[in-house]
Amino acid sequence: MILYGYWRSSAAYRVRIALNLKGVSAEQLSVHLVRDGGEQHKADYIALNPQELVPTLVVDDEQDGDALTQSLAIIEYLDELYPKTPLLPASALERAHVRAMALTIACEIHPLNNLRVLQYLTQKLTVNEEAKSAWYHHWVATGFTALETQLVRHSGRYCFGDKVTIADLCLVPQVYNAQRFNVDLTPYPNIMRVWAECNQLPAFADAAPERQADAV
């Protein structure tokens, strides 16, 4: 497997955690999202990922490499391929709850605060840094307020009970990003408790952005 990612990409961060938890190795190639206007916009990478996003996981289908995109789709692929350490609960109802928490982050918070959105705000709409920061903080607060309530209902040691799930794989990178942008996280004690528990696990700690080969 080859994982195309970027050290600060929270979506790639999720996949790195999943690979670590599964004990699966992948060659990691950096796609610098800022240098030279963003390497994700180069023709050779667009051929792999038409969305011009990271991560992309190239897998060997015994013929030609098949490129998988979208972090949650990649994670569920890995979960089905390597079921020994499941990242989703056994029952349909519990899986729905876990997916809802993961999607609260991956669909409701992250896309609004992704690099290309922030660049559009400043470069195309000429939004100043103060307004951009307010935008970022607003959508984190909106999503985290909902997630905090979900954790009150469902969390144990981790987001859902006492086993790591895809919800935890989404939560940890999002907290990392929120800290980067100086979001006040004191209103979210359960989020921060789960974040701390996860980061005690080597699979999470080793996937941290600063530990990646392309970290600056």
Q: How far apart are the first and last CA of the chain?
A: 24
Confidence grade of residue 132 (pLDDT, cut at 50, 70, 90): very high
Helix/strand/coil (H, E, C) string of 54-84? CCEEEEECCCCEEEEECHHHHHHHHHHHCCC
CB 126 within 8 A of CB 48: no
The two tokens of residue 12 are 């790639």
Whether residues 111 and 133 fall in one domain: yes
Is residue 178 included in any domain, yes or no?
yes
User: What are the residues whose beta carbons fall under 8 Å from the beta carbon of 35, sequence distance 6 or more?
Assistant: none
Is residue 150 included in any domain, yes or no?
yes
Last residue of a domain, one of 84, 118, 151: 84
Whether residues 162 and 122 fall in one domain: yes
| Mean pLDDT value of segment 178-183 | 97
CATH of the domain at 51: 3.40.30.10
Going from the C-alpha of 9 to that of each of 6, 42, 90, the distances in angstroms are 5, 18, 30
Question: How many whole angstroms separate alpha carbon 158 and alpha carbon 178?
Answer: 19
| Mean pLDDT value of segment 196-216 | 97
User: What are the residues whose beta carbons fall under 8 Å from the beta carbon of 53, sequence distance 6 or more?
Assistant: 11, 40, 69
User: What are the residues whose beta carbons fall under 8 Å from the beta carbon of 202, sequence distance 6 or more?
Assistant: 20
Give percent above pLDDT 70 in the chain: 98
10 Å Cβ neighbour count for 182? 10
Confidence grade of residue 60 (pLDDT, cut at 50, 70, 90): confident
Quote the number of domains for the chain.
Answer: 2
Confidence grade of residue 216 (pLDDT, cut at 50, 70, 90): confident
Whether residues 76 and 100 fall in one domain: no
Sheet holding 65-69, edge to edge: 27-30, 2-5, 56-60, 65-69
Question: How many whole angstroms separate alpha carbon 14 and alpha carbon 2?
Answer: 15
* Per-residue pLDDT, 112: 95
Whether residues 79 and 99 fall in one domain: no
* Per-residue pLDDT, 176: 98
Query: Can you say whether residue 54 is alpha, beta or left, with left for phi > 0 and alpha for psi between -120 and 50 degrees?
Result: beta
* Per-residue pLDDT, 65: 74
User: What is the average pLDDT value for the chain, to the nearest integer?
Assistant: 96
Burial 124-133 (b: 16+ CB within 10 A, else e): eeebeeeebe
Whether residues 77 and 101 fall in one domain: no
Q: 134 is in which domain, residue-wise?
A: 92-203
pLDDT tens per residue across span 68-127: 999 999 999 999 999 999 999 999 999 999 999 999 999 999 999 999 999 999 999 999
**149 has pLDDT over 60:** yes
Amino acid (one-letter) located at 174: Q
**62 has pLDDT over 70:** no
